[in-house]
């Protein structure tokens, strides 16, 4: 790990504490222009997602109906009822995004895959960066809104479903995440800047409770009057 990787992991709660937990249950509200563009408006207005911390797994509930939930892993995505009956499922779910653009509508399984991997990525970073098959490299710092941000380029292993193989995470002087840059391959819509703020401590882990995702213009500047995705976290329980 780079020195910056160790610094930011410690700032978010440390590997020792994070390693005590196997799951995280997150109550959140999500909005933004993306869901309407994809034909999924309202599904994640108020939701709970349960995440596996020792494996890549996520389940959103309710999902499309009060008694339904999603089930996500990199290899399979499904919609199930409370009894565990499978209503719809898809193997190799990433292949179903081939040829998509920002305007391509999503079915429920597209949404379950994207929302599953995205929330897993957000809630397990930066702790996953300590795994031996992640590669991290500190880049030159940048200044934004009067603050100096240290930047970490992260190369994700192929076993992880996420936005893109390489992503850049920018941290403030205290080591907390402030900006996350990526180009989501499944959207095929260009780069985005994902801002994190309003940190709270849950079970010893520091979590940003406000997230805003904006498109990035050709000049590299975030277009902040367009909110692609908003995430407001009400509570997180690690167990």
pLDDT 10s digits, 29-69 = 999 999 999 999 999 999 999 999 999 999 999 999 999 99
Cα–Cα distance for residue pair 194/164, rounded to 1 Å: 14
H/E element holding 3? helix 3-11
Q: How confident is the model at residue 228 (pLDDT cuts 50, 70, 90)?
A: very high
Cα–Cα distance for residue pair 222/225, rounded to 1 Å: 9
Say how many C-beta atoms besides its own lie within 10 A of residue 89's C-beta.
14
pTM of the model: 0.97
Cα torsion 136, 142, 144, 148 to 10°: value is 90
- DSSP letter assigned to residue 130: G
Cα–Cα distance for residue pair 208/112, rounded to 1 Å: 22
**Per-residue pLDDT tens digits for 106-141:** 999 999 999 999 999 999 999 999 999 999 999 999
């Amino acid at each position: 790990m780079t020195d910056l990787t160790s610094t930011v992991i410690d700032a978010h709660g440390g590997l020792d504490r994070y390693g005590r937990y196997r799951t995280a249950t997150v109550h959140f509200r999500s909005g933004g222009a993306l869901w309407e563009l994809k034909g999924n408006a309202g599904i994640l207005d108020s939701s709970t997602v349960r995440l596996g911390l020792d494996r890549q797994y996520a389940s959103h509930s309710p999902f499309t109906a009060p008694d339904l939930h999603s089930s996500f892993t990199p290899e399979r995505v499904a919609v199930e009822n409370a009894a565990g009956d499978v209503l719809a499922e898809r193997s190799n779910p990433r292949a179903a995004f081939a040829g998509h653009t920002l305007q391509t509508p999503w079915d429920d399984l597209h949404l379950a895959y994207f929302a599953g991997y995205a929330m897993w990525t957000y809630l397990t970073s930066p702790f996953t960066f300590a795994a031996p098959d992640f590669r991290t490299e500190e880049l030159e710092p940048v200044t934004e809104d009067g603050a100096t941000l240290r930047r970490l380029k992260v190369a994700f292993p192929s076993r992880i479903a996420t936005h893109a193989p390489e992503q850049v995470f920018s941290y403030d002087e205290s080591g907390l995440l402030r900006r996350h840059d990526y180009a989501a391959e499944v959207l095929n819509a260009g780069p985005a800047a994902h801002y994190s703020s309003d940190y709270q401590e849950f079970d010893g882990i520091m979590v940003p409770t406000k997230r805003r995702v904006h498109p990035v213009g050709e000049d590299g500047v975030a277009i902040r009057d367009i909110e692609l995705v908003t995430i407001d976290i009400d509570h997180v329980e690690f167990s």
